[in-house]
Homo-oligomer: A and B are copies of this chain.
């Protein structure tokens, strides 16, 4: 029988429903009996780790995912261009994706740098990681004491602790999509 604090049965059931699977269909995919699934979802048994793992592989999903899952309120998913929030006051443009969401784990930006534009000397460093892809033009990126020019299709991945800055030294507009976690704004 179960007493595990978190409602494993309910959680499994809701995941199964999300994927539009019947107990029997999940049973086939996971190699666990449909009756077992029924009992687990009713919290009449506490599944072995093996069984739970098999079941999750039917989605697929990992044990980490399962135990990390918390019910979250549904929030806006799609964003038109005018729904992206402009963060920059200079000539450059920093459009934030998902600004309306309360507790983002991710800071995704669509950045546009005109010729001569740049991020300023961003000496603020914070815990986390940051990465991006150049989607148009080229840009000079300084990371620590390294300096390099990245062209369309190239990318970077850095620890946010290391001071970094961007400058468009070309005569073309440059666009970047970047992501960081945890978000610093």
Residues in A lying within 8 Å of B, measured CB to CB: 2-5, 8, 15, 18-19, 46-53, 59-69, 72, 74-81, 84, 97-98, 101, 104-106, 108, 110, 123-133, 135-136, 141, 143-144, 146, 148, 150, 153-159, 161-163, 175, 177, 179-181
CB-CB under 8 A from A126, the residues of chain B are 61-62, 65
Q: Is the CB of A77 within 8 A of B108?
A: no
Shortest distance from the beta carbon of A47 to any chain B beta carbon, whole Å: 6
CB-CB under 8 A from A49, the residues of chain B are 2, 4, 8, 46-49, 52
Rank and list the top 8 A-B pairs by shortest CB-CB distance, nearest first. Answer: A179-B179, A98-B157, A177-B177, A65-B127, A46-B50, A135-B135, A108-B131, A97-B155
**Bound state CA distance, A144 and B181, in angstroms?**
24
Pick the contact of A108: B4, B46, B69, B133 (CB < 8 A): B133
Considering only CB atoms, which chain B residue lies closest to A18 in the complex?
B163
Asked whether A177 and B125 contact (CB < 8 A) given A78-B154, A154-B81, A158-B77, the answer is no
Copies in the complex: 2
Pick the contact of A97: B18, B80, B131 (CB < 8 A): B131
Shortest distance from the beta carbon of A31 to any chain B beta carbon, whole Å: 11
Pick the contact of A77: B62, B74, B84, B146 (CB < 8 A): B146
**Bound state CA distance, A103 and B110, in angstroms?**
25
Q: Is the CB of B156 within 8 A of A77?
A: yes
Asked whether A155 and B67 contact (CB < 8 A) given A49-B46, A78-B141, A123-B19, the answer is no
Considering only CB atoms, which chain B residue lies closest to A60 in the complex?
B124
Considering only CB atoms, which chain B residue lies closest to A158 in the complex?
B77
Shortest distance from the beta carbon of A19 to any chain B beta carbon, whole Å: 6
Most buried by B among A18, A47, A150, A181: A181
Asked whether A110 and B133 contact (CB < 8 A) given A18-B163, A155-B79, A157-B104, the answer is yes
